[in-house]
Amino acid sequence: MPNAYISGTGGYVPPRVVTNDDLIQQYGVDTTHEWIHRRTGINERRFADAGVGSAELGEKAARRALEAAGLEPHELDMILFASLSPDYCFPGSGVIMQERLGLCEGPKARFVPAMDIRNQCSGFLYGLGTATSMVQSGACKHVLLVGGETHSAALDLSTRGRQVASLFGDGAGAVVVSATDEDRGIRGWWLGADGRHVEVLCQKVWDIKQRPFIPLDEHGVGQVQPEAMWAYMEGKKVFRHAVERMCEAVLTACTAQGITGADIDLWCFHQANMRINQYVAETLGIPEDKLVHNIDRYGNTTAATIPLLLDEAARDGRLQRGMKVAMVAFGSGFTWGSAICDW
């Protein structure tokens, strides 16, 4: 059975920077930089321009990952696209990005399968488990895994929505998971979910149980109430569960591998809230110099946070061949996961 390793990484964030002060001055949000930074660690985030969606951001990250892996798009065997902000309700963004990569036309056309993964902040790790399994089974040699998010189009950028809107930014990260006979790669992945907390962190833009699934006015025009249109979050409950589950996921991974936290060279935590990550690191005794962060610059980019961290660390030299890397995430659902990789 071949090993599955990350042969290339790529990342992309849109050029427009939106600082905490911009939320106040441009959008009229009644808040302060200090209020946001103290609670989240966020200074700024990136917003995509109108007309730019998650597949477009994902394509830019994917092309950089393919270049790093020394591959052309037609050499891929599968595409996995993790997102909570897909371009459409359906079809998924994976097929959109497949077309954008040029796989549907020309002499090198190759209609590889494309799968979307809807596990929000845990989506990249759910995708990594899927990609690893596909490679280890021998079904695929190269799998492209992308986390792409365009949150800015669906944020309540007002005082009413400040608790959630201040947290999120747009961006994409990508990795290529490839087969190798070398003794390296993804050593294991561990995933979990607890559906009892579905409504603690959710966005109910529609309710498919209703007829019609979006209420209509007297003119037949769909009307979505604010409580359904925007994301809802019970922040204190999410914080508590995130700390508990992330610690559990880390301990599960280390125990399964017969290692301790001291054996890990680099930690990539999902970037939801700097305070959550600091609490987890303190609880587990993880030194600051082994952690990488980008939430201060990008906010929470959901499925894109971990691949963006991997790409930045690989390109700036913090992540080098032979290092042992741990990844952990927690998100709505609730869902969570961890993975350990020998780079």
pLDDT digits (tens, 9 = 90+) for 210-252: 999 999 999 999 999 888 899 999 999 999 999 999 999 999 9
**Regions of the chain short of the pLDDT cut 50:** none
Q: Examine domains 3-182 and 186-199+230-342 and report if their fold is the same.
A: yes
How does pLDDT run across 54-103, given as a tens digit for each residue?
999 999 999 999 999 999 999 999 999 999 999 999 999 999 999 999 99
**Dihedral Cα 115, 53, 36, 280, nearest 10 deg:** 20
**Could you tell me the residue ranges of all domains in the chain?**
3-182, 186-199+230-342
- Architecture of the structural domain at 3-182: 3-Layer(aba) Sandwich (3.40)
pLDDT of residue 227: 85
Give the residue numbers marked as catalytic. 121, 270, 300
Q: Does domain 186-199+230-342 have CATH number 3.20.20.80?
A: no
